[in-house]
Amino acid sequence: MEGAAAADGSATGIEMGTARRGPLPEVFMKVAPVLPPLRSGEKLAVLLPGMGAVATTAIAGVEAVKAKLAQPVGCLTQLGHLVGDAGEVGPRLRDVLPLVPFDDLVFGGWDPFPDDAYQAALRARVLERHHLEPIRERLQAIKPMPAVFDKAWVRRLDGPNVKTGTLREKAEALQDDIKGFMRKNGCARAVMVWTGSTEVYSEIGPAHLSMAAFEKALDASDPTIAPSMIYAYAALKCGVPFMNGAPNLSQDCPALRELAELQGVCTGGKDFKTGQTLMKTTIAPMLHARMLGLEGWFSTNILGNRDGEVLDDADSFKTKEVSKLGVLDQILDADHHPELYGDVEHKVTIHYYPPRGDNKEGWDAIDIVGWLGYPMSIKVNFQCRDSILAAPIVVDLALLADLGQRAGGKGPQEWLSFFFKSPVTVPGRSQVHDLFQQQVVLHRKLRAFAEQAASAATPAVG
């Protein structure tokens, strides 16, 4: 298999520790062709459409870590180690992968509200003043560029900081923004991570089927082209990887897949995997591994931030619901186990409840079945902080998408499934939702990258 040697790190001198679990089956893995070392001081632009709670918590978090005010808890690239297929622990990721250091990240973004990152972080009420005040000036310097925004796609919001013109003009203006930002800030490369709102539900239509149709639709200002698609289009046109933190269709349509392929640019899945779905994709594999049955899984949440307000609109919630409902079917695999999972009742609701702000509370009632069909139940009460869970994912995705891009990746990067509620695969391969299977795939790819980086750093003999 291509990349087998790289996958176990054996050819590189990368020392892996003692096994914690047995071997796992081989998973298809493509080895990075080249991974040249980073040049010191080379800046990476991290461009965030949507500078709300998640984006400002990510930006302020990086600044707080740089100022030694806090640890990057929850950030795999900063605290994680390489993990072998059998669970053996290898070196720290930061020590063996050429990841851009925090000091070389430059944040920018767009939002229909003109608040700078400091004001937006205060409004989001996620981080406390003792974290924000010492980095106030850095945050105040980050002002959102005018957004490509359309109230038809996010009905609960409206702001003045928006671009005007045809969709084609807006797409071109975004490309100018990207290039201008990179030039102004001396950035060698950029990545875009969508941290904007969840748009109303939409399905792939004629305008999304090919690049030719998409560009024609831009010229005609076709209303089926969502703002998030225009950001994805602009990023891909500029050779900038696009990672999608929301369940919006965005890059996940044939036209933009075609563009990503043509431009040789990395894309990822959709919707950050945090909170309830993170729990679900952890507990469901356990039920399946022990052949315990499932009758029903009822998930409900209360959330009081702006995201909760947007999701209070039924059509935006539908986009989220589709993303959240998909995970159980694949993990439980009812086709092979109709007696255990043939008739599962799965419900997900989110309620907008302002008093809670960003501090989401989720309840899961899981009705399971044991030996001889006797019923049992599991209750989960997760009192989380939405943006505190999502912010490190923004940082990890930005650094890993950049790594994947430098390694020659293009199109959907399945190895990043670990971070998404809706992983995107290449056509013909099914999604994997099980967090632990995703972890194996991710770490195989990271080991392959580490090998490429190590061999690039080793002078050729003879």
Ligand X SMILES: NC(=O)c1ccc[n+]([C@@H]2O[C@H](COP(=O)([O-])OP(=O)(O)OC[C@H]3O[C@@H](n4cnc5c(N)ncnc54)[C@H](O)[C@@H]3O)[C@@H](O)[C@H]2O)c1
In the complex, the residues that contact ligand X under the rule CB under 6 A are 49-55, 110-113, 124, 147-149, 154, 157, 159, 195-198, 227, 245-246, 271-272, 274-275, 305-307, 310, 386-387, 389-390
DSSP string across 299-364: EEEEE-SHHHHHHTSHHHHHHHHHHHHHHHHHHH-TTT-HHHHTT-EEEEEEEE-GGGTT--EEEE
How many residues are there in the chain?
Answer: 462
CB nearer to ligand X: pick between 48 and 284: 48
- Provide φ and ψ at 445, rounded to 5°: -65, -40
Least distance CB 123 / ligand X (angstroms): 8
Pick the closer one to ligand X by CB: 299 or 452. Answer: 299
Residue type, 215: E
Residue closer to ligand X (CB basis): 57 or 437: 57
Least distance from C-beta 176 to ligand X, angstroms? 16
CA distances from 401 to 11, 242, 244 (A): 25, 8, 11
Closer to ligand X by CB, 307 or 402: give it.
307
The answer to whether residues 369 and 345 touch, using CB atoms and an 8 Å cutoff, is no
> Measured from the CB of residue 368, what is the shortest distance to ligand X in angstroms?
26
* Amino acid, single-letter form, for residue 148: V
Q: State the pairing for strand pair 411-412/81-83.
A: unpaired
CA distance 375 to 71: 43
Torsion on CA atoms 414, 419, 422, 426, rounded to nearest 10: -10
- In 3D space, the residue among 390, 385, 318, 307 whose CA is nearest the CA of residue 353 turns out to be 307
- Closest approach, Cβ 42 to ligand X, in A, equals 27
Taking the least distance from each CB to ligand X, the nearer of 310 and 398 is 310
Smallest separation (angstroms) from ligand X to the CB of 398: 14
Taking CB positions, which residue lies at the least distance from ligand X? Answer: 52
CB of 32 to ligand X, least distance (A): 28
Q: Which is nearer to ligand X, 250 or 405 (CB)?
A: 250
Closer Cβ to ligand X, 421 or 444, answer by number: 421
Least distance from C-beta 89 to ligand X, angstroms?
A: 28
